[in-house]
């Protein structure tokens, strides 16, 4: 895969992709951190233009196993943006009203309007991941959702929303260290949930579910990127680089003034 981007119809093994690497990074942790700062500035600049233009939007989807760093990635990558134009949505267990509608109903309501960047911390993909691993719905139901998701994302791109999706790929060993760190540090106890251990016991099932979901839903218009995430500094830089490059391709422009007299002086 080029730049960790999953080509449409790709036949790949998630287990064969690295989780602990510095491939492509500008240098060591310090040098890559400096490069991240530059990317954050680039993202901020394009976000301002996107907001001013009001013609396009960007949807960033983040999926990962527990402790892989979705929250940390969001903090690092979007630290320089104007909060007014960026909206983060965290999708939890569906509520009763949400369950009374189709599985995409709550998702569509959170998609970004023109001029905005939307960030999904977990997403509609939970409905082909958790529901599959825990047998919440029959296989014939969740399997049909791959195509429904593709159609949904195609609809978004047709409406001038660019969609990019990231899987933060972490090793099982690294997850163990991060969970232990939460237990050892009293200031991190609030992050620990006993349910995380139950999810960890299903690691292989989740990896298989992620592999199928990524393979079946990475498209030209809504690609998946598998980001090695054992090194937090590398993860943040890699995600920021893709987002900055995507915004550059979108190329939002400041609108031209149409009702300003060039000879006007403010007195």
Backbone angles phi, psi at 106, to 5 degrees: -70, -25
Closest CA relative to residue 63, chosen from 120, 106, 109: 120
- Token pair 């602990």 in the structure block, residue: 20
Show the tokens assigned to 218: 């990475």
CB 48 within 8 Å of CB 82? yes
pLDDT in tens, 180-196: 999 999 998 888 888 88
Q: Provide block-wise average pLDDT over 10 residues at a time, the chain (267 residues).
A: 78 92 94 97 97 97 96 96 94 94 97 98 97 96 97 97 98 95 90 86 96 96 97 97 98 86 78
CB 133 within 8 Å of CB 202? yes
What was the pLDDT predicted at 89? 97
Contacts of 53 by beta carbon, 8 Å cutoff, 6+ apart: 115, 252, 253, 254, 255
pLDDT in tens, 116-154: 999 999 999 999 999 999 999 999 999 999 999 999 999
User: What's the CA gap between 161 and 58, in Å, rounded?
Assistant: 5
Helices (H), 21-67: 29-53
Show the tokens assigned to 1: 């895969």
Closest CA relative to residue 177, chosen from 65, 21, 73, 67: 67
pLDDT in tens, 70-89: 999 999 999 999 999 999 99
User: What's the CA gap between 48 and 58, in Å, rounded?
Assistant: 13
What was the pLDDT predicted at 195? 83
Domains and CATH numbers, the chain: 2-250 (3.40.50.300)
Percent of the chain with pLDDT over 70: 99
CB 142 within 8 Å of CB 125? no
Helices (H), 54-166: 70-77, 96-99, 105-108, 130-133, 139-158
DSSP strand pairing (57-64 vs 117-121): parallel
The mean of the pLDDT values for the chain is 94
């Amino acid at each position: 895969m080029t730049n960790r981007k999953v080509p449409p119809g790709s036949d790949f093994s998630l287990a064969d992709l690295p989780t602990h690497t510095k491939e492509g990074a500008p240098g060591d942790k310090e040098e890559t951190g400096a490069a991240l700062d530059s990317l954050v500035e680039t993202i901020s600049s394009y976000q301002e233009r996107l907001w001013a233009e009001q013609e396009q939007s960007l949807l960033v989807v983040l999926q990962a196993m527990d402790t892989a760093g979705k929250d940390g990635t969001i903090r690092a990558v979007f630290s320089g943006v104007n909060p007014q134009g960026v909206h983060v949505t965290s999708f939890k267990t569906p509520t009763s009203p949400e369950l009374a509608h189709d599985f995409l109903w709550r998702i569509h309501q959170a998609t970004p309007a023109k001029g905005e960047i939307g960030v999904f911390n977990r997403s509609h993909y939970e409905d082909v991941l958790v529901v599959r691993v825990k047998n919440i719905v029959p296989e014939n139901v969740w399997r049909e959702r791959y195509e429904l998701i593709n159609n949904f994302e195609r609809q978004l791109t047709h409406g001038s929303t660019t969609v990019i999706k990231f899987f933060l790929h972490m090793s099982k060993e690294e997850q163990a260290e991060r969970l232990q760190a939460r237990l050892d540090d009293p200031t991190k106890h609030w992050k620990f949930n006993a349910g995380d251990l139950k999810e960890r016991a299903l690691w292989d099932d989740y990896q298989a579910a992620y592999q199928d979901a990524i393979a079946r839903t990475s498209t030209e218009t809504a690609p998946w990127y598998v980001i090695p995430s054992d090194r937090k500094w590398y993860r943040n830089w890699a995600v920021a680089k893709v987002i900055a490059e995507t915004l550059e391709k979108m190329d939002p422009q400041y609108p031209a003034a149409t009702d300003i007299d060039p000879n006007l002086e403010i007195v």
